[in-house]
Amino acid sequence: MLEHGGRLREAAAHYQIPLENWLDLSTGINPEAWPVPTLSMDCWHRLPEADDGLEAAAAEYYGNPNLLPVAGSQAAIQLLPKLLPRAVVACISPIYAEHPHAWAQAGHRLRFLQNALLPRALSAATPYVLLCNPNNPTADRHPHAIAVDAAKQLKKRGGWLIVDEAFIDATPEDSLTSLAGTADAPNLIVFRSLGKFFGLAGARVGFLFAAPDLLTKLAELMGPWAVAGPSREAAKLALRDRDWQTAQRPRLLAASQRLHALLAPLGEVKSTALFSALTTPHSAELHECLARQGILTRRFEQQPLLRFGLPANETGWQRLTNALGTWKPA
């Protein structure tokens, strides 16, 4: 199993700090989750059905009916490489580690392009180009026009552009989702998740957007009832709640700017609406300093990087501010 953020119980045991005393900033999940109402008894009692309105709500929210609900985008991340011919994958890295892991497990070869821009990835002349946008964990972004052009260039040579947009909901104008699997971009595959912006990570709901024939193959590989009934109902309601979505976007962007400014004196900072990535040669020591004060961040051992999510309230902000104030690099 690969390392992930959110391993709060493990941290509590290691540092001997009670679970309830932690400030968990390790995941990049919206701390103000969509408020799940009481769900119908039917969604608990009956087997899930595909005509319950989830697909329609997702098609409207994302602007594309070429979709398949999955048990979190993680399910599609693991299975997609098994459906495509084995070849070389240009992977813009660092990247969410489950992506290259799944492609390697399926027998593909990885060509890692460290901090590469899309034009460089295209020049690698591989059949597949894989990236996160915004990138997890670095918060780097690939401009929309360049990404669209990349899909077109790959299409000409029979290649595929595979994009994880788990952190893009706060800036939907940057998304490629509406193009995935359409006549204009049949070679574009996009992962989306309700875990980050909607804060529903525990529901395990995501979507894969791709050409219909590929979605059919993935559905057959997953089998029936891939997403639980209560998760489907909650996801459908969240996707339809435009008032909540509209209110969240500026709130998250403002909080992101605040976090960016707080971290800027400590090193190079890049930010998405849901997390900031701090590059510093002291990342390990800072991670340890904060953890000993009950603040969990996400450390990446392969690069000098710490990822900070957003505090949930003013108490959390003050706690983080005070803890950073105690930091004195060696």
* 284-319 pLDDT tens trace: 999 999 999 999 999 998 889 999 999 999 999 999
Asked if omega into 134 is within 30° of 0 (cis), the reply is yes
Instruction: Answer whether 69's CB lies under 8 Å from 53's CB.
Output: no
Buried/exposed code over 16-34 (b: 16+ C-beta within 10 A; e: otherwise): ebeeeebbbbbbbbbbbbb
- pLDDT > 70 fraction of the chain, expressed in percent and rounded: 98
User: What is the model's pLDDT at position 329?
Assistant: 85
User: What is the model's pLDDT at position 94?
Assistant: 95
- pTM score: 0.96
What are residue 187's phi and psi, to 5 degrees?
Answer: -95, 10
Identify the band that residue 124 occupies on the pLDDT scale cut at 50, 70 and 90.
confident
Residue type, 202: G
Residue written as token pair 């979709």: 67
User: What is the model's pLDDT at position 16?
Assistant: 95
Instruction: Answer whether 89's CB lies under 8 Å from 205's CB.
Output: no
User: What is the model's pLDDT at position 54?
Assistant: 98
Q: Where in the chain is the domain with CATH 3.90.1150.10?
A: 8-28+243-325
User: What is the model's pLDDT at position 3?
Assistant: 66
For 8-28+243-325, CATH number out of 3.90.950.10, 3.90.1150.10, 3.40.640.10, 2.40.30.20 equals: 3.90.1150.10
When the pLDDT of each residue in the chain is averaged and rounded to a whole number, the result is: 96
Q: 148 is written with which tokens?
A: 């669209």
User: What is the model's pLDDT at position 106?
Assistant: 98
Q: Where in the chain is the domain with CATH 3.40.640.10?
A: 46-240
128-180 per-position pLDDT tens digit: 999 999 999 999 999 999 999 999 999 999 999 999 999 999 999 999 999 99
Angle at 201 between CA 239 and CA 68, to 5 degrees: 55
User: What is the model's pLDDT at position 273?
Assistant: 98
User: What is the model's pLDDT at position 302?
Assistant: 82
The CATH class, in words, for 46-240 is alpha beta
Using the predicted structure, report yes or no on whether residue 219 has a pLDDT greater than 70. Answer: yes
Kindly state the average pLDDT of the residues 231-238: 98
Using the predicted structure, report yes or no on whether residue 1 has a pLDDT greater than 60. Answer: no
Using the predicted structure, report yes or no on whether residue 2 has a pLDDT greater than 70. Answer: no
Q: Which residue has the higher pLDDT, 3 or 96?
A: 96
Helix (H), strand (E) at residue 193: strand 188-193
